[in-house]
Amino acid sequence: MKMIMKNWLRKDISVAVMFLVPSGVGFAMFYLIPFIMGVIYSFMDNTIDGHFVGLDNYRELLASNSFRKAAYNTFYFTAVSVPLMLLLSLGLAILLNKSTYLRKWLRTAYVLPLVVPVASIILIWQMLFDWNGSLNAWLGSFGYARVDWMKTDAARIVVIVVYLWKNMGYNVILFLAGLQQIPKDYYETAQIEGAGRLRQFGNITLVYLTSTMFFVVIMSIINSFKVFRETYLIAGDYPHDSIYMMQHYMNNMFMSMDIQKLTAAATLMFGCILLIVLGMFALERRHRQFME
Amino acid sequence: MPVARVLQKSALTLVLGVIAVMLLFPIVITFTNSLMTEKEININYGPIGQMKEASAGKANPYVNLKLLPDKVSLEQYGKVLLDNPKYLTMFWNSVLMVVPIISGQTVVAALAAYAFSKLRFRGRDPLFLIYVLTMLMPFQVTLVPNYIMADQLGILNSPNAIILPGIFAAFGVFMLRQFMLDIPYAYIEAAKIDGAGHLRIFIQIIIPMIKPGLAALIILLFVDYWNMVEQPLIFLDDPFKQPLSVFLSRINEGERGMAFAASMLYMAPMVMLFLYAESYFIEGVQLSGIKG
């Protein structure tokens, strides 16, 4: 029996190659090689017959005001909206996990915004947040002054709201699944031992949701980059300063053919994402060891 | 059930219901407004985008956000479908890009996911980490090299410049791997003892077992690529090759009179697919999150 097992394992590598080839070839061609090329370009002064210029591109990039603005805004947006997303979707999932009527319908309603196309959102966006829009009309009826939502710092809030509206349902489903995995008798035991609601939440719910949370954070970061679509379509290449993101910056560098700055910015952004992901993997591993 | 419990349950349902209504509001508005006549739309939403200065001093007209049309009419739908041959062309453009991407990515990703989850070979986990990292990259990061690559392959300004990278994106691999991890090795070993090769195991055992995962992947890919905006704007110069998503994002400005109906028609395939496959989708999304 052991012999046969070993034979299978040895054969795995050749089989693996067969299964991986279709994906691997395309992945290398359209993702991996372009990415490596991008990193190399970021150290060159030209994409054709360029010379190695060390960190010059990076120095120039860091000196650029619009890059610093874009980096700050992207960081700010992620740092505010991802935790907010976690909080709200976990809260909703916990409520939805209690006994309610119409649970299936409510769940559908929460996920449906995900499938609403960008273009329709933009129409509604204009209707609500324009200078003459409904939100201002509504605030006006309470005696508040009008806000030019898209041309002041308030634009940040608008973008965060749209992001939350669109992606919350997806995370609610994920958390709901995580919650339903927790055995009910854990809570009963805790109750008998006299643990309060808050202790139960901290020591049971949160602990058992860690791996779900890990996944939700990754998905939320991916989705936070996608808000760019909506922002871009509503406000164009140069939106208000407060919502000028890395994607705007990179897009504009592409349009002005400033390849050096673009690739340097892309490489830096990759570095940051890499750090975040490795950090999260490390946290998760420690958590797993702790659980065992 | 005691009265107190019923009350509590009703109150919770009410709270969650109010949130659901808020989330669904943009969809409902799009639907009801698609039944208005062009004239009514222009009266209601004319003030959007009007200069502040022009109306300064005078009574400032607000947008008149209306839920129900004065007169139900199919005028907008007629305009979109009959007077606008461009609309149907672009609808078809979208279909011709989205269908190959979804079918291609599903097949390619399922094969690779099998190797990453059920075969053992050296370098498997680092390779998979690379896949995950590219998944987290915004599209702009590899923009320049991708552009150069597409140019060298001679697929610039052709839908292939969008379809090919779409087929090989890492998301499908990531998602389907999560599902395959849940399938116990025992199934595979039993099949091996019966003399089945890996390809047969893959087709006859794995694929039927990951149906929820496939459904969830198809829906998520559909949502993502049906809405793409950045890729076509960069890779397709010819306005007649653009997908509907790009066209629709521009309709808002000049032709507001039919924008709502156009949005509805555009949203319809996605919403129908979603409602049809919702239970699969939810099961799929949930399973993908549990293993983290």
pLDDT at residue A114 is higher than 50: yes
Interhelix angle A246-255/A65-97, rounded to 10 degrees, is 140
Confirm if A263 and A42 have CB atoms less than 8 A apart. yes
A169 interaction partners in chain B (CB closer than 8 Å): 23
Q: Coil, helix or strand for B243? A: coil
**Tens-digit pLDDT profile for residues B151-190:** 999 998 999 999 999 999 999 998 899 888 878 888 888 8
Instruction: Report residue A214's pLDDT band, with 50, 70 and 90 as the boundaries.
Output: confident
Q: Looking at the complex, does the CB of residue A181 fall below 8 Å from at least one CB of chain B?
A: yes
Nearby residues of B129 by Cβ (< 8 Å), 6 or more positions away: none
**C-alpha dist (Å) from residue B251 to B76, B248, B277:** 13, 5, 30
Res A230: pLDDT: 79
- Answer yes or no: are the C-beta atoms of A151 and A240 closer than 8 Å: yes
Residue A7, pLDDT > 60, answer no
pLDDT (average), residues B113-121: 91
pLDDT value at residue A29: 92
pLDDT at B292 over 50: no
More confident residue, A58 or B290: A58
**pLDDT, position A50:** 77
pLDDT beyond 80 at B32:
yes
Query: Structure pTM?
Result: 0.84
pLDDT, residue B173, reads: 94
Per-residue pLDDT tens for B209-238? 888 889 889 988 998 898 888 888 889 888
Provide the pLDDT for residue B72. Answer: 84
Does B116 have pLDDT greater than 60? yes
Task: Using an 8 Å CB-CB cutoff, list chain A residues near B146.
Answer: 30, 34
Kindly state the tokens that stand for A239.
């939106």
**Which range has the worst mean pLDDT, A14-23, B34-43, B253-262?**
B253-262
Res A4: pLDDT: 55
Contact A237, A248 (CB under 8 A): yes
Q: What is the pLDDT of residue B254?
A: 61
pLDDT tens per residue, range A125-179: 878 887 777 888 888 888 888 788 877 888 888 889 888 998 898 899 888 888 8
**Binning pLDDT at 50, 70 and 90, where does residue A91 land?**
very high
Q: Is the ipTM of this complex over 0.85?
A: no
Distance of CA A74 to the CA centre of its chain: 11
**Three-point CA angle B44, B269, B92, nearest 5°:** 95
Contacts of B226 in chain A (CB under 8 A): 117
- Any chain B CB within 8 A of the CB of A40? no
Q: Is the pLDDT of residue B42 over 80?
A: no
pLDDT above 90: percentage of residues in chain B:
21
Give the nearest partner residue to A102 out of B13, B142, B263, using CB atoms: B13
Tell me which of B117, B143, B174, B250 to substitute to probe the interface with A (most A C-beta atoms closer than 10 Å).
Answer: B143
CB of A282 within 8 Å of a chain B CB? The answer is: no
